[in-house]
């Protein structure tokens, strides 16, 4: 009897301690499942620390811990934290004398809980990634990539953004150094020769890294890159138009990141007021805006300044890119969602919502577009066990929306709260005040 009397208080204390650790509950909400592409009703999500520990359903309810912070999810829609698979946090901002740390809140405030820096100086990237990790309440998680692996005379010059590798013998030591820095991806650029290209894929895969490439290459055929096992093609203009190559991509799981928004906003239509006067642009630092406007003043299309006479040609090009994206999706190619921000008029965070709209305009259902920005991107980071969907055991990265994105993909902008690694973030507090136009 005494033993039993002693056990009861211990059990009660253990229960209380468990409940106090489970600090967040989102109750009775609609949960988006990227695997089935459906919105699951009446779910209750329990978070302990930075992980999801249980999800209640109508048939299998869970008890909300006594000491948890409770968010009433009725009439709300919860999606996995968005991932931007193609950003640059250093070299583009250097032109405007801005640090990557300064724009990170723009991502998180837009529900982008993870970003992949897809080519920057590794030392500078590491600094930004460390800052983000130390400020999870305002910054997304930063996944690093190697500098651009290029030929003896790199396209962007032998500076911090590129690494000149002229011989395959140089590759193993380079890959080892990237592993030591903790990169998730190796990116190959346009002047890397065939032997180096192939060796980078081989060595990258030995270390379990994703290998991405900017195609078309000035040296390597797309067919050869696929035969050697390339994991990701960056940009829609690198997509093959050969049905056999597309089938090969599907068979071996080669992914493609269209980055439609950079073609739309930066390259093709930066002279259009709805692009350069978009209200989203006023959230970026003033020096970035000035850099963008300077780019626009000098921008050309096919070596001719953008004007009304070539507008139709530009529109046709954009339609071709969207049509190609739709063809790839229907063929079964795994598509990613990236923005190339902060290229001109691709504001960090905001541009990913534009990319989702462009993917839907390309023929993807809203659920498929959301999958690109969540589970597909997580797979491209080798992080599908941790990110990309709302499941027990995964990191608690989520976005609570006020409206259903499956009804209208633009509803990804109706952000009520962002959950980043279990931390509840109010986007109004995370985002800076926009500049006055």
Per-residue pLDDT at 189:
96
- For residue range 260-298, what is the model confidence (pLDDT) as tens digits? 999 999 999 999 999 999 999 999 999 999 999 999 999
The gap between the terminal CA atoms of the chain, to the nearest Å, is: 76
Per-residue pLDDT at 302:
86
Per-residue pLDDT at 272:
97
Per-residue pLDDT at 159:
67
C-alpha to C-alpha distance for 231 and 259, rounded to whole angstroms: 16
Which of 4 and 369 is assigned the larger pLDDT?
369
C-alpha to C-alpha distance for 217 and 4, rounded to whole angstroms: 74
User: Is 4 a residue whose pLDDT tops 60?
Assistant: no
Residues in the chain: 437
User: Is 146 a residue whose pLDDT tops 50?
Assistant: yes
- For residue range 362-397, what is the model confidence (pLDDT) as tens digits? 999 999 999 999 999 999 999 999 999 999 999 999
Question: Which H or E element spans position 87?
Answer: strand 82-87
- For residue range 320-356, what is the model confidence (pLDDT) as tens digits? 999 999 999 999 999 999 999 999 999 999 999 999 9
Alpha-carbon distance values, 94 to 124, 138, 160, 342 (Å): 11, 21, 11, 11
Alpha-carbon distance values, 85 to 98, 112, 115, 118, 157 (Å): 21, 10, 6, 8, 24
Per-residue pLDDT at 22:
60
Percent of the chain with pLDDT over 70: 95
Phi, psi for residue 22 in degrees, rounded to 5: -80, 90
C-alpha to C-alpha distance for 433 and 428, rounded to whole angstroms: 9
Tokens of 312: 């139709």
Cβ proximity of 271 and 300 under 8 Å: no
- For residue range 207-259, what is the model confidence (pLDDT) as tens digits? 999 999 999 888 999 999 999 999 999 999 999 999 999 999 999 999 999 99
CA 284 to chain CA centroid, Å, is 19
Per-residue pLDDT at 18:
42
List alpha helices for 372-417, DSSP H.
377-380
Which of 129 and 436 is assigned the larger pLDDT?
129
């Amino acid at each position: 009897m005494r033993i039993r009397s002693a056990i009861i208080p211990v059990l009660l204390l253990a229960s209380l301690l468990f409940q106090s650790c489970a600090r967040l509950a989102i109750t009775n909400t609609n949960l988006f499942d990227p695997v089935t592409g459906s919105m699951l009703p009446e779910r209750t999500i329990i978070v302990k620390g930075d992980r999801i520990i249980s999800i209640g359903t109508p048939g299998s309810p869970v008890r909300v811990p006594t000491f948890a912070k409770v968010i009433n999810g009725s009439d709300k829609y919860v999606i996995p934290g968005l991932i931007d698979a193609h950003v640059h946090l250093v070299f583009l901002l250097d032109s405007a004398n801005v640090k990557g740390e300064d724009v990170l809140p723009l991502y998180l405030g837009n529900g982008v809980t993870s970003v992949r820096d897809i080519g920057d100086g590794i030392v500078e990237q590491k600094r930004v990634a460390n800052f983000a990790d130390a400020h999870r309440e305002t910054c997304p998680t930063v996944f690093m990539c190697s500098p651009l692996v290029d030929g003896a005379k790199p396209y962007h010059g032998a500076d911090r953004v590129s690494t000149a590798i002229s011989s395959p013998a140089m590759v193993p030591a380079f890959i080892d150094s990237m592993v030591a820095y903790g990169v998730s991806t190796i990116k190959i650029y346009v002047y890397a020769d065939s032997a180096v290209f192939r060796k980078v894929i081989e060595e990258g895969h030995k270390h379990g890294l994703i290998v991405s490439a900017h195609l078309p290459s000035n040296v390597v055929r797309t067919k050869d890159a696929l035969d050697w096992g390339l994991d990701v093609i960056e940009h829609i203009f690198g997509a093959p138009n050969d049905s056999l190559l597309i089938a090969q991509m599907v068979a071996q799981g080669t992914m493609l990141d269209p980055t439609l928004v950079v073609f739309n906003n930066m390259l093709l239509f930066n002279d259009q007021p709805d692009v350069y006067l978009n209200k989203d642009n006023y959230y970026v630092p003033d020096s970035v805006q000035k850099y963008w406007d300077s780019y626009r003043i000098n921008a050309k299309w096919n070596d001719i300044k953008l004007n009304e006479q070539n507008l139709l040609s530009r529109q046709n090009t954009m339609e071709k890119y969207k049509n190609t994206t739709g063809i790839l999706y229907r063929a079964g190619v795994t598509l990613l969602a990236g923005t190339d921000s902060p290229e001109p008029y691709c504001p960090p965070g905001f541009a990913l919502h534009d990319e989702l709209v462009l993917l839907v305009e390309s023929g993807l259902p809203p659920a498929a577009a959301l999958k690109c920005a969540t589970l597909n991107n997580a797979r491209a980071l080798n992080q599908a066990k941790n990110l990309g969907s709302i499941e027990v055991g995964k990191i608690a990265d989520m976005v609570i929306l006020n409206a259903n994105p499956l009804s209208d993909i633009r509803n990804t902008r109706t952000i009520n709260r962002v959950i980043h690694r279990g931390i509840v973030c109010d986007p109004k507090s995370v985002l800076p005040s926009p500049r006055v136009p």
